[in-house]
A and B are shown apart, each in its own frame.
Chain A
Amino acid sequence: KNQVEQSPQSLIILEGKNCTLQCNYTVSPFSNLRWYKQDTGRGPVSLTIMTFSENTKSNGRYTATLDADTKQSSLHITASQLSDSASYICVVRDSGGGADGLTFGKGTHLIIQP
């Protein structure tokens, strides 16, 4: 069964600090991995998407990495801002066909304190 595990479950950091969120997956056959940001009471918004051949992808202060060999990904947030407070969801897509092929992680709840 395809699974996506995220850690930590929740994280509190001070404004201006950096942080790294982790995602481990057992999805096969792998197609791509996405990171989403979900603000409280809102739908998820895409941050990055990476295919098998991509190791790193950035979107402003967000940098995602992918190690397809170890089936791990990370999302690094640089110089955090209060607006970064949200849940960050790792989503892995398989290429097996049918439905949406997506397996969602449970998310990491990030709180930025002033």
Chain B
Amino acid sequence: NAGVTQTPKFRILKIGQSMTLQCTQDMNHNYMYWYRQDPGMGLKLIYYSVGAGITDKGEVPNGYNVSRSTTEDFPLRLELAAPSQTSVYFCASKAALGYGGYGYTFGSGTRLTVV
């Protein structure tokens, strides 16, 4: 049981380049999330999805796009990388909204540096 898998683990981008952060889960979870974690700060929600074909903005969506064509995959797209997007990105999934258990399963993160 792999849980939530994120690729790549590390990436260095030049300003203006684009890339896609991959996230896949094998738990058949409906809910998936993208967070960013800046040094010394709490995680911030970028985008989330409540099921295939449905996505919505979180707290800090500017500069990012997402898609959810399947239950398993939730890629995050950076179109024009900026230094402010240097961060660690975490993907997470959850079985259902309001689930009272432990709920969220996080991936291991992608450390992105924009220079």
Contact A46 B108, beta carbon cutoff 8 Å: no
* CB within 8 Å for A43 and B90 given contacts A99-B48, A99-B56: yes
Contact B109 A49, beta carbon cutoff 8 Å: no
Interface residues of chain A, those whose CB is within 8 Å of chain B, are 4, 32, 34, 41-46, 49, 51, 89, 99-100, 102-107
Contact A43 B4, beta carbon cutoff 8 Å: yes
Known: A43-B106, A46-B102. 10 other contacts (CB 8 A): A41-B109, A43-B90, A44-B90, A49-B100, A49-B101, A49-B103, A89-B42, A99-B58, A100-B45, A106-B42
Number of interface residues of B (CB under 8 A): 23
Chain A, interface SS category? strand
Residue numbers in B under 8 Å from A43 (CB-CB): 4, 90, 92, 106-109
- Bound-state CA distance A105–B40 (Å) is 10
Residue B12 CB within 8 A of the other chain: no
Residue numbers in A under 8 Å from B90 (CB-CB): 43-44
Interface residues of chain B, those whose CB is within 8 Å of chain A, are 4, 33, 40-45, 48, 56, 58-59, 90, 92, 100-104, 106-109
Contact A49 B102, beta carbon cutoff 8 Å: yes
* CB within 8 Å for A46 and B42 given contacts A41-B108, A100-B33, A100-B48: no
- Bound-state CA distance A29–B58 (Å) is 19
Name B41's contact: one of A32, A46, A106 (CB within 8 Å): A106
Residue numbers in B under 8 Å from A45 (CB-CB): 106
Q: State how many angstroms separate the Cβ of B100 from the closest Cβ of chain A.
A: 7
- Bound-state CA distance A46–B102 (Å) is 6
Q: State how many angstroms separate the Cβ of B80 from the closest Cβ of chain A.
A: 25
Q: State how many angstroms separate the Cβ of B94 from the closest Cβ of chain A.
A: 8
Closest to A104 in B: B42
Contact A99 B45, beta carbon cutoff 8 Å: yes
- Bound-state CA distance A4–B44 (Å) is 13
- Bound-state CA distance A105–B43 (Å) is 8
- Bound-state CA distance A49–B48 (Å) is 21
- Bound-state CA distance A49–B108 (Å) is 21
| 9 pairs, A vs B, C-beta closer than 8 Å | A4-B42, A41-B109, A43-B109, A44-B43, A46-B104, A99-B59, A104-B44, A105-B42, A107-B42
